[in-house]
Structure 1
């Protein structure tokens, strides 16, 4: 069973940032309220960071699989575990 935690935050915006948020919230904006807007921004940032991590992993795997076949050598599981502990 997962437990949901709610955190209340106060953010102060002035000038252009405040105007930008106001233009995106309410009757003429894409979001009903500021909380909805902030949650969407956080979700998008989280997705972006996850995508960056996935892209790094893909690049590392592509590099590893591009190595010549003769560069691979068999290792016992215990050897891999010992190498990764060190």
Structure 2
């Protein structure tokens, strides 16, 4: 896989934050390492969200039609206000 460079300009608070996270006092050697870690965390967060969604939707998709009951929008709103 070919390596491709992406250049991003950050200033102000973003630049200050990156400086705090890198170098002698930070967790990362340099800004590139920090940005790669952030992207990996974002990918994992998205994967986790999809896994959670699938886990909660699949039982409904596999359920027999007889297990469902009709509810109105008002019923759903009322139920969610109690939660």
> Structures share a fold, TM > 0.5?
yes
Q: Does 1:10 align with 2:7?
A: yes
Q: CA deviation at 1:70?
A: 5.4
Q: Does 1:36 align with 2:33?
A: yes
Q: Gapped runs of 5+ residues in structure 2?
A: 68-83
CA distance, structure 1, for counterparts of residue 5 and residue 50 of structure 2: 29
- 1:28 is paired with a residue whose SS is coil
Count of aligned positions: 67
CA distance, structure 1, for counterparts of residue 26 and residue 9 of structure 2: 20
Q: Deviations over 1:17-70 (max 9, x none)?
A: 1000001000000000111001100000000001111111001113345x4585
Partner of 2:45: 48
CA distance, structure 1, for counterparts of residue 43 and residue 66 of structure 2: 40
Q: Gapped runs of 5+ residues in structure 1?
A: 72-86
> Structure 1 stretches (4+) deviating beyond 2 angstroms?
62-65, 67-71
RMSD value, Cα: 1.8
Q: Higher RCO, 1 or 2 (CA under 8 Å, sep at least 6)? A: 2
TM-score by length of 1: 0.68
TM-score by length of 2: 0.71
